[in-house]
Structure 1
């Protein structure tokens, strides 16, 4: 009886621990992306544990994950600090985006169903409404949602796998300049979706390429 109770207790604690780590990870990542924790800001385990109302263990595990994702750097004598999006990091990100997104848009144009196109149109409508309302947190969420939807519609599982981690950083970069980029980004997205709806692979790939180039220019030269 005692042995069975102990086994159940161990499984329950283990499950809760993993869930707690994931919750801390999600919230830590969100606060970095949304700028609540600024680039270069020091993040101690004690401070984060207090911010999230948890022990240091799930914080320590979450910090390891965001370090591997590139959101945090561990520096000598300083510990964990929020990474800085310098010009090299931004250029590298957009170089990969251009390759992945042009391929994804072209494949999506070949493979999209009517339901897929309707899904993309709904995201465009929601993004338009969020832009009008100046809800730039929502605009950033919808920006990532649209790109990830195109990648999913492409039907290429390798693109989906490669893009999953990258789009946290895409969201981060977009959020920094969302107020300026949102109206232009929405118009560029319309061209991509229109080409996908028309089944025109070359036009979709070209619209995606031009969109990524415009986004890169805006990120590198915000003024």
Structure 2
């Protein structure tokens, strides 16, 4: 019995370590610590994180599947590049998911939901004024996840989970320029949701995604 408990503990620790390495690897890519096109070897990452190569290898497999890393011939793992095609594809999906979520949220939100969304808007405004753009990027993703949760559609929540790592990545690149406008657009979206006006919320979400896409594409070279 003791041996069984020990083996479970070791397994749990291993999973926790893998998840920690994965989260930190994602964070460094999103924040630009590892630049687009930069080579990432298992040995280097193991040294950076102070771990063995095994959890690094597992984390690289996950971020490759998520699209943060590409495996190239003769180079190995490199940080993916946010080219025009990748950005357009991301925003195309965002428009479909977020407009649907906004309309449903307007129909289903209660007072507690509205307050949660307003609190996130307030936190983002404070972070923007403080020029803490890393925090603004986190709050941007938190806000959109919250709208999807308020929509009450579990399929939207499941489908969008991986996407928001990339939303964070794209937003972080141009956060200093985009943050004030994004904050105002979020407030308009919450006002429509609070009014229970599904068409207005849907349109506010569409205009927000459209503005975000224009900003993102304006700061990237074409592919």
2:76 counterpart residue number:
79
CA distance in 1, matches of 2:35, 2:176: 18
State the distance in 2 between where 1:219 and 1:18 align.
35
Unaligned 5+ segments in structure 1 are none
Q: Distance in 1 between matches of 2:88 and 2:43?
A: 34
What's the offset of the Cα at 1:11? 1.8
TM-score under structure 1 normalisation?
A: 0.97
Q: Which residue of structure 2 aligns with residue 183 of structure 1? A: 180
**Residue 66, structure 1, aligned to residue 56, structure 2:** no
Partner of 1:18: 15
Distance 1:22 1:162 in 2: 20
Q: Residue 73 of structure 1 aligns to a residue in which SS?
A: strand
- Equivalent pairs counted in the alignment come to 220
1:221 Cα deviation from its structure 2 partner: 0.6
Once the 2 structures are TM-superposed, how far is the Cα of residue 74 of structure 1 from its aligned partner? 0.6
State yes or no: 1:105 paired with 2:90. no
2:159 is matched with which residue: 162, 169, 172? 162
Superimposed CA distance per residue, residues 77-121 of structure 1 (whole angstroms, 9 cap, x where no aligned partner): 111000000000000000000000000000000000000000001
How do 1:1-223 residues align onto structure 2 when only pairs under 5 Å count?
4-222=1-219
C-alpha distance in structure 2 between counterparts of 1:118 and 1:142, whole Å? 15
Q: Deviations over 1:181-219 (max 9, x none)?
A: 000000111110000000000000000000000000000
Q: Which runs of 5+ in 2 are unaligned?
A: none
CA-atom RMSD in angstroms: 0.9
4+ long deviations beyond 6 Å: none
The alpha carbon displacement at 1:12 in A equals 1.9
- Once the two structures are TM-superposed, the CA of residue 9 in structure 1 deviates from its matched residue by 2.9
- Report the secondary structure of 1:23's partner residue: helix
TM-score normalised per structure 2: 0.97
